[in-house]
Chains A and B, each alone.
Chain A
Amino acid sequence: MAPRNDGVDGGEEPERGHATLATLRIGTKAMVEKDGEKRKAEILSIQSRKGRPTFYVHYQEFNKRLDEWVSADRLDLSQEVEWPLPEKPEPKSKQKQAQSKAQQVSKTDSKANKAPKRARSTTVTREPSEAPGDVSAKASRRPSQQGGKENRDPTVTIATEDIGGTPLAGEDDSTIDLVDMQEAAIAAKAAPEHAPYSREEEIEKLRTGGSMTQNQTEISRVRNLERIQMGGYEIEPWYFSPYPAEFTDVDLVYICEMCLGYFGSATQFRRHRHKCQLFHPPGNEIYRDANVSFFEIDGRRQRTWCRNLCLLSKLFLDHKTLYYDVDPFLFYCMTVRSAHGHHLVGYFSKEKESAEGYNVACILTLPQHQRKGYGKLLIQFSYELSKIEGKLGSPEKPLSDLGLLGYRAYWQEVIVDILAEREADGAPTLSIEDLGQSLAMTTNDVLHTLQNLNMLRYNNKNHVVVLTDAVLEQRERLKEKEKIKGKRFLEGSLLRDWKPPVFAASARTWNW
């Protein structure tokens, strides 16, 4: 799902016109200079800093992690801007299509969705909330919803929150930031029109499935933390994360590298470090080799630590949801050791019981450790676990862009390795399923990888797997690199003693 109003709104032509700094409002799309070139960007928030307006912009077709605050001089107002679309009720047919394609929705819900959505005012004033008439419309709708099992239309709750008279953007300089961002986030969440899933469907999905990823509608669109300090690094967060709202005002948030606690003040953080007695993730070390260790942590037993971890990783994972608690997950944390203790490098979470056979829910290498091959180790570890469990695994979708590249690289490497070995052994036949079995990969993932690398071909009326020159060359290059930099690979045999944890029915329920 593209960010809201990304310019392809059902073929409807947006209103265009010239704007001044004063008339710019949230939702407007203007050309903004980015790395020497101009790109169309949507204004998501406006703030005044030192008396000068600054704009939080999302560049079209760029990942949200590149969203940033820009000063007014980077906006090119000599070109026309696109004004935000007035919100219109969805065409009935389209709505129905979307609904039938999506999960089953009760009839009352679909009726409710047909009711006019929060109309965005065409005035310059930013009004993310409903017009008064809208509220009454919703109020009248309520009884019809009571028959539904989950009364969870978020627009209703917004109406009750009554944030109608939001001041003009850029008018109230001192108060705008926090409230503004919260509202923006709420507004973003409350825009289910273009989502393939409605909000209630999404929550229902979260409630019944163990999913840790979430839909676009959930995402608060403006980053709330400026910078964080973790260990010896200062990191720019990529996305919104529900750290305490106070932190929005803070320049630097301190994260304890051991317990992952969060602190808004340097003094507090120093005091905390003075007391913190944790030197490694609070679980059992299930793997150790010369470079890294892995810890297995039960979300139910280490609730605080796992919550801290989720808050932290949410800063870098767009699709992660923190809507529900960490109980039904296991966290596998990779660390490197030093005299200071175990430094968290990355982790992946895994449902204790995945209905869809996922072996990874969320996976992240912390930004300060990225581009060093750790992601591959995490991925490999997840498959090593699946091998021991005797299951085929696949990561939960959606993947992020970086996640996709990481997985594709890993899949390519292991599959080409096996094929090349087979070929060298002189027994050059292998079925897709056997390939998947030996790597604990789903048949689909194997198939996709082969197709994507153009290795699955048709020859002499038969399908064949081709070790193309391209993949062999890439393999050689990788081997060269490993010779220089050292091979980063896990030793599966060191995991021998690991037993898949077994949970009693009571431990699997999501009760506190």
Chain B
Amino acid sequence: MSTRATTARHVRQRKLNTKQGLRIIRESEIEDQQDESQQHIPQVETGVEKGEEIEYHLQAVINASNAAALGAKQTQQNYIPTPEVKQARHVNYDELYPRVFKEPSTNIKFSSTVEDCNPVAYCLREEDVEFLHKLNEGRDVDGRERKGADKLSQCSEDACEEVMNFFEETSSRLQPFANLDNAPILTLEEMEQSIQDDQPLSAEAQKWLRPIYDYWLIRKAGRPLMASIKVRVLDTANEADDADPYVCFRRREVRQTRKTRGRDAQVTEKLKKLRMELEDGRQLLLSINQREKLKGQQGQLDRKKFRERHQLKKVKAEKQIVGEKGDDEELLVDQKPVTKPGKRQSEANRPATIRLRSLGDRAASVANAQDNDLPLLEDYVTEGAAFVSNTIEARKEQHRKWNQHWVDETKLPITPPLEAEDPMSKWAAWPPLLDGLYPTPPPSLPSRSSVEGEDVDMKDAPDIKPQLDTTSGAEYEPEIFAIPGAWPETEDDEPKPDKFPAVRLRVGRGGRRWLETRKRKPKGQLCRGVVSDDDSDDGQTPGFFSVPEGITFELRAAFNNRPTGRPEGTGSEQRQRQWGGDQQAGAAAQGHPQVQQQGAAGSAS
């Protein structure tokens, strides 16, 4: 590579940002195929030791893979040769490893150690087996006849191993450094004395201690009989075996924390704290114990009390003693003591401070909770909210009821019929005091909210009395209007003054006044092809009804109480009602049953 090319490349290439997303493309998408940098693999750290990196086989494989990465066709599979592995001959695998393993259905959990699984570590060697044969033939180690040997008793291999293992373990336990300091080999008596309680020898093994000991003594030569690895268990300061490759698994030094006075104090504090906490826990348990005992006593007392009362009742029944009413009940059932409200009050009045609950306090509150449940703020809040919404709903309902049969007619002008001569003679004057005097619907429930707020103020309509003779009562009388045909009449033509007023004056917010008429209930049969709105709650939509064109005039005439009834351009209902309001008009209408009928039919639908 020329220097120029090198520098050129260095200038050109930006540093690679490992956080930045890199585009993934195919080889064919690369544009500058000629770039020299693409043509060799950069030297990458392999992680193999330098000395081994140059090894022939590894290099062969690496070079082959590099070549492949650069697009060369792989010619042959390279691999690193390893020493051979053969199937073992003369191995009866099934005998060595019996087919007894059952796979559990769940994952294995296992914590036993190798030693647990194989408590007798010693395994007989060929020499041992030979010795065992001799032993079982009744001979001693040295081949002489054993005294008092029972020819029939045979030492099993297991027993022999157990004994040998016992000797090995005991000697290594009592003389761990025997191979270093040439300690005298333990005598059999010493061995027998040191049999540990937790690892007793089986009875069979004990029988064979002596003959096997003699053999063991011969075999033993200051080192363990079982081949063992060199593990340095003692004396980390001794470095003599540092270079010995056979010594392995050294213990590592513990990183000791330095002892300082400060640390000691810390530790003392910790211990003190721990002790205190334990003491607290103990006290708590004691108190609980006591409490439960007291509870038990109380239960017994209650039981006794009940029994006594029961007895008493029986006696009373026998002796026919009649006590006061409820007396007996009291006898059998404990009356709950009435909680004094004063206490609660005082509790509520307590300043809101954070109290650390002491043990006794908690116990007290626990006790309280059994008598009366603690009222929760939550409950109060929901109760209040429910009350408010109920009230609102109720008032809405009431409002709807007021307006149910009323139609607002205020918008349209109320003009009295033209009366040349004496309009006032026919008209009652508006009372000067409209408030309170005009018929208004009954007020809502005497709720505080309507008193306080700028709510609609409505007043009860006075009862309608048939006061036909009060026409002259200029000031007050015309309050009651009766509009003929404004509501269905009864079958008989006998005029029945309705108890409902036909018109009302409503005082709305801000002193606005509304003039409302009753909705007319249509009587289906007489209506021709007209469908009216039902009496919707909406006061804004006037009840629609039609008055047959033919009778309008007569009707108006009747309302106006003017037989000559002047022709009117537009039949205003207000006017009709206005007129209808007139007592005399009503009377006149009664005088014209037909008209009345028609009017009623018109209003009904």
Contact = CB atoms under 8 A, between A and B. Distances in A.
A111 interface: no
Nearest to A150: B239
B107 interface: yes
Contacts of B242: 152, 154, 157, 203
B99 A282 contact: no
Interface residues of A, number: 148
A455 B108 CA distance: 44
A399 interface: yes
A416 B99 CA distance: 43
A141 interface: no
A146 interface: no
B97 A341 contact: yes
A429 B24 contact: yes
A404 B58 contact: yes
Nearest to A295: B108
Nearest to A405: B61
A285 interface: yes
B96 interface: yes
B21 A231 contact: no
Interface stretch (B34-42, B294-302, B371-379, B518-526): B34-42
Contacts of A322: 248-249
A278 B114 contact: yes
B447 interface: no
A263 B227 contact: yes
Interface in B10-53: 12-14, 16-27, 29-32, 35, 37-38, 41-42, 44-52
Contacts of B244: 182, 186
Most buried by B among A3, A151, A246, A464: A464
B88 A234 contact: yes
A400 B48 contact: yes
A268 B24 contact: no
B110 A280 contact: yes
Interface in B86-136: 86-89, 91, 93-94, 96-101, 103, 107-115, 117-118, 120, 123-126, 128-129
Interface residues of B, number: 105
Given A322-B248, A468-B69, A443 B18 contact: yes
B252 A324 contact: yes
Given A182-B245, A397-B47, A468-B69, A276 B117 contact: yes
B81 interface: yes
Interface of A is mostly: mixed
B246 A182 contact: yes
A282 B45 contact: no
A433 B26 CA distance: 21
Given A259-B114, A323-B248, A509-B254, A422 B98 contact: no
A79 interface: no
A430 B410 CA distance: 77
A454 B41 contact: yes
Interface in A70-124: none
B250 to A, nearest CB: 5
A304 B88 contact: no
A423 B250 contact: no
Interface stretch (A235-243, A379-387, A481-489): A235-243
B55 A401 contact: yes
A405 B246 CA distance: 30
Most buried by A among B41, B44, B99, B112: B44
B489 interface: no
Given A238-B83, A339-B99, A341-B101, A464 B249 contact: no
Contacts of A280: 101, 108, 110
Q: Please give me the 7 A-B residue pairs with the lowest Cβ-Cβ distance, nearest first.
A: A510-B252, A2-B51, A322-B248, A429-B21, A339-B99, A236-B83, A244-B227
Interface of B: 12-14, 16-27, 29-32, 35, 37-38, 41-42, 44-52, 54-58, 61, 65-66, 68-71, 80-89, 91, 93-94, 96-101, 103, 107-115, 117-118, 120, 123-126, 128-129, 157, 161, 227-230, 239-240, 242-255
Given A154-B242, A405-B61, 19 more contacts: A157-B240, A232-B87, A232-B93, A236-B83, A244-B229, A259-B117, A259-B118, A272-B123, A273-B96, A278-B114, A303-B113, A325-B251, A398-B52, A402-B82, A432-B16, A454-B70, A457-B37, A466-B24, A468-B71
